[in-house]
Structure formats: structure tokens, C-alpha cells
């Protein structure tokens, strides 16, 4: 039997992992700039957490969760999303009562979906959640944070789609009105939409099925059901984004798939990934903390898919800024320790360094050095060791002359060539 990864689960190999690291480092820098603190959440949670938060009538709970009983007969699930876990952690640790909190997290999520490009059964998200701040200002902040991340990554061509679901009372009234309309056109809906008419009718609005979309085109408008406060909230969000230069479009059918959203909902979409066009989605969820037993706490946030962002960043076949800068070559057992010391001195100065390991003469080692992407090779042979010196060779400038330096001076020379500052910087 050939062992291989499970369907929908995959390995992230080094070339792609470099893109992931770029995304994660950009997320860390941007969230730091906005004052968001990192939180780490468990992968396993009580199944009841997601039933109460995501909603028992959602596809996630009904069809997609990886759930099981442990040896103590406790019902638990691999987390399908991060918001419920973040709220649970805030309540459990006393972080949300009469406080303002800004959190971000990253990690794997799990859903038993049909795998396709950009969608896997184990997928990875970066999430941002803000608690304790009512009103449109925090909505604007969170959306602006996401826009700042695209800028940090150099991504263009993403479209911000906005809508408002209004207050829970608005949403409930609209739900009743929409159900009545969909019942009249029940036979024209696709089977999935028919199943949602009674359990989760708002999800019918974002159906991709052509016949259902034709029915939805004439459905009552969510925006017509908004009260004055909800309209004012949404208008302020739109005006705030305009003031920051964040472009957006109004998608009146945008509803999000989870039951806990109210007021502002948004998605960043692209036409570069086929059917999996959403790379980031979120909104306001003012009722979720109370729903999970933590009191009335306003909240807003989003989650983005790392796999989809990695696809947008392109097919990076090299390690970019994360591969070695220097490759140390040596031959002869008496040179091994000296080569390791040179490597240690370079690494202590923040120079990414690989010291050759394994068999092979200098010719084979130079080939490895070239394939590694390193810019410079340091050569430690018996003659160099006897003289207390090393040779330094450029691997990218074939016309450059090979130079000899005292061992102690080589790290500083390489730092200058690489544009790396001193340790105090």
C-alpha cells in the first residue's frame, strides 16, 4: 500500500512555504501597526461551541465539521473557523467584560468539503477580531487593516464588496419576508436552495446556480428592510472608507454564511482564482458574545485564506528572501570545525548561512551552493586553514574576482556586501 496524504489534506513544500511566510510576516507587521495582539487558539473545541455560534442549520455544522466522541464520550470537533474559538477564549479568560480588545490569530481550520484549487479540508486562515467597540469606526478600522495587508503584499485587483444586514430585528423581519417570496418560487430553485428556504433563507441570496440567481434577482431587497439606525451605520462605514481611499462596491446579495453576523458584512474578491473568488470575508457580529454566555459585547472581524493569497502571489519557485545568502564550502576533516565556526559567526550577525554537510569535493559543493540561491560562497580548505584565512567567491557575478580574507574579517565583509547592518540595529 502506497502511503499518501488524505484527500483534501496536503503538504506545503518549501517554495510555497516561502510565500506563506511572506503572508504571515506581512500580517504580523500590519496587525502590529494597528495595535492588534496575537492570540493562539486550540484546534479542538467542544462541538457545542460551533452549534451555538455558527448555527445548527448551517452547512458547516450540518455537513462539514470533523466531529467525534473522545474516550470520555465528550463531543468535540476540529475547528471549522476561528471566531467562535476567539470569543470563547475571551469569555473564559475574562478579557471581554467592559473592555476593548483587538486580537489576531493564524492557523489551520477543518471542513469536510469537496476539494478543489484554493479549497481544502485542512485550510489555513489569518483572523482579526475586535471587541467592545460599537459604531462604524471599528468596522472602518478592520476593513482598512485588510486593505493595508494587500498593500504590504503588493496585491492588486481585489474588489471590496460591502453590504448591511442591519440589526437582528431587521434581519429577522427580512428573513420572514424573503422566506415568503422563496416559497412562491420554490419549484424554480435548485435542490440546495430549496433545502435552505426554511433553515437559512439568506444563504439562497448568494447562490451561484443560474436558475436560483434568476429567482433571487427579483427577491425583496435587504436594504429596504433596514431601519434608520442601520442605514446610518452603513452610510458612515462607506463614508469612512471613501475618506481613506478604500474603494468598494455595494453587493446587496452579500449575506455571509454564518448566523452571527449583523450590520456590516464584507468580502474581498478576485476574478483570478476561478470559482474560489473570495480571499477575505468578515463583518460585525454584535450578538455572538452574548450568544455564547459573555454579555452584550459589540464585535467585528474577518478571516482570510492563506492558500488563496498564496495562489495570488504567484508561482514562486525559489526561496526568495528566505533562502541562504552564504554557503560555506570546506574539504578535509580538519576544516569542518573551522567551517562551522565561520557559519556560526555569520548567523550571529543575521546572515542566512548554510554550511555544507555530506560528501563531495569543492566542485559538487559549488553546484549545491548555486542551487541553494546563495549569493556568496565561503571556501575553507587545508591551505586556507593553515593561513588562518578563507576565500570568498560571488556566486552571482561570474566576473568578480575571488578574494581572500582573515577568518575573523570575513563576516563583516559579507555583511557589507549584503547590506546588513550591525547587531545593534
Mean pLDDT of 131-151: 96
Tens of pLDDT, residues 261-295:
889 999 999 988 876 689 999 999 998 999 899 88
Q: Domain 14-167+227-312 classified CATH 3.30.930.10? A: yes
Mean pLDDT of 65-89: 94
**Distance (Å, whole) CA 74 – CA 43:** 15
Q: Is the pLDDT of residue 62 over 70?
A: no
Look at residue 399 in the predicted model and tell me its pLDDT.
85
User: Which of the four pLDDT bands, split at 50, 70 and 90, describes residue 424?
Assistant: very low
Look at residue 323 in the predicted model and tell me its pLDDT.
81
CATH 3.40.50.800 residue ranges for the chain:
323-418
Contacts for 145 with CB less than 8 Å, ≥ 6 apart: 30, 31, 34, 36, 128
In degrees, to the nearest 5, what angle opens at C-alpha 298 toward C-alphas 288 and 153? 90
**Distance (Å, whole) CA 255 – CA 162:** 10
Burial profile 146-163: b = 16 or more Cβ within 10 angstroms, e = fewer: bbbbbebbebeebebbbb
* Cβ atoms of residues 103 and 128 within 8 Å: yes
Q: What is the pTM of this model?
A: 0.85
Q: Which helix (H) or strand (E) holds 394?
A: strand 389-394
Determine what percent of the chain is predicted with pLDDT higher than 70.
94
Mean pLDDT of 103-129: 92
Phi, psi of 81 (to 5 degrees): -160, 170
- Name the more confident of 424 and 180: 180
**Distance (Å, whole) CA 236 – CA 141:** 12
**Distance (Å, whole) CA 332 – CA 136:** 68
Phi, psi of 398 (to 5 degrees): -65, -20
CATH of domain 323-418: 3.40.50.800
Look at residue 321 in the predicted model and tell me its pLDDT.
60
Q: Is the pLDDT of residue 420 over 80?
A: yes
What is the DSSP code string of 96-119?
Answer: STT--EEEEEEEEEE-----BTTB
Report the Cα 224 to chain-centroid distance in Å: 34
Contacts for 29 with CB less than 8 Å, ≥ 6 apart: 152
User: Which of the four pLDDT bands, split at 50, 70 and 90, describes residue 320?
Assistant: low
Look at residue 400 in the predicted model and tell me its pLDDT.
86
Mean pLDDT of 319-323: 61
Q: Give the helix ranges, DSSP H, for 55-101.
A: 59, 83-92
Mean pLDDT of 298-317: 85
Mean pLDDT of the chain: 89
Tens of pLDDT, residues 337-382:
999 999 999 999 999 999 999 888 999 999 999 999 899 999 999 9
User: Which of the four pLDDT bands, split at 50, 70 and 90, describes residue 113?
Assistant: confident
Q: Is the pLDDT of residue 171 over 70?
A: yes
Amino acid at each position: 500500500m502506497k502511503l499518501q496524504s488524505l484527500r483534501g489534506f496536503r503538504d506545503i513544500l518549501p517554495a510555497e512555504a516561502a510565500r506563506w511566510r511572506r503572508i504571515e510576516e506581512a500580517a504580523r507587521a500590519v496587525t502590529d501597526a494597528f495595535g492588534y495582539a496575537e492570540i493562539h487558539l486550540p484546534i479542538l473545541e467542544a462541538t457545542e461551541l460551533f452549534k451555538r455560534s455558527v448555527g445548527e442549520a448551517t452547512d458547516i455544522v450540518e455537513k462539514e465539521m470533523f466531529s467525534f466522541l473522545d474516550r470520555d464520550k465528550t463531543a468535540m470537533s476540529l475547528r471549522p473557523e476561528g471566531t467562535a474559538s476567539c470569543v470563547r477564549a475571551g469569555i473564559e479568560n475574562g478579557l471581554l467584560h467592559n473592555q476593548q480588545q483587538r486580537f489576531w490569530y493564524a492557523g489551520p481550520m477543518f471542513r469536510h468539503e469537496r476539494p478543489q484549487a484554493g479549497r481544502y479540508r485542512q485550510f489555513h486562515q489569518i483572523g482579526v477580531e475586535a471587541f467592545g467597540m460599537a459604531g462604524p469606526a471599528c468596522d472602518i478600522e478592520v476593513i482598512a487593516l485588510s486593505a493595508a495587508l494587500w498593500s504590504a503584499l503588493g496585491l492588486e485587483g481585489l474588489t471590496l464588496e460591502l453590504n448591511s444586514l442591519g440589526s437582528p430585528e431587521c434581519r429577522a423581519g427580512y428573513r420572514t419576508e424573503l422566506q415568503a417570496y422563496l416559497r412562491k418560487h420554490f419549484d424554480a430553485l435548485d435542490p440546495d436552495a430549496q433545502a435552505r428556504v426554511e433553515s437559512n433563507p439568506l444563504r439562497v441570496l448568494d447562490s451561484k446556480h443560474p436558475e436560483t440567481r434568476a429567482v433571487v434577482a427579483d427577491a425583496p431587497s435587504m436594504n429596504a428592510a433596514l431601519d434608520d439606525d442601520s442605514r446610518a451605520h452603513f452610510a458612515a462605514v462607506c463614508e469612512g472608507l471613501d475618506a481613506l481611499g478604500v474603494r468598494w462596491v455595494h453587493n446587496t446579495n452579500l449575506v455571509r454564511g454564518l448566523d452571527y453576523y449583523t450590520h456590516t458584512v464584507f468580502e474581498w474578491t478576485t476574478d483570478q482564482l476561478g470559482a474560489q473568488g473570495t480571499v477575505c470575508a468578515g463583518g460585525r457580529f454584535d450578538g455572538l458574545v452574548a450568544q455564547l454566555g459573555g454579555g452584550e459585547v459589540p464585535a467585528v472581524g474577518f478571516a482570510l485564506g492563506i492558500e488563496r493569497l498564496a495562489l495570488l502571489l504567484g508561482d514562486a519557485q525559489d526561496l526568495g528572501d528566505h533562502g541562504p545568502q552564504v554557503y560555506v564550502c570546506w574539504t578535509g576533516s580538519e576544516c569542518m570545525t573551522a567551517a562551522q565556526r565561520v557559519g556560526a559567526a555569520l548567523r550571529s550577525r543575521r546572515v542566512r548561512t548554510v554550511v555544507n554537510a555530506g560528501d563531495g569535493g569543492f566542485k559538487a559543493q559549488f553546484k549545491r551552493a548555486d542551487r541553494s540561491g546563495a549569493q556568496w560562497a565561503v571556501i575553507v580548505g587545508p591551505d586556507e586553514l593553515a593561513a588562518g584565512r578563507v576565500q570568498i567567491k560571488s556566486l552571482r557575478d561570474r566576473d568578480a574576482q575571488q578574494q581572500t580574507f582573515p577568518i575573523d574579517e570575513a563576516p563583516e565583509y559579507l555583511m557589507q556586501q549584503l547590506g546588513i547592518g550591525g547587531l545593534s540595529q
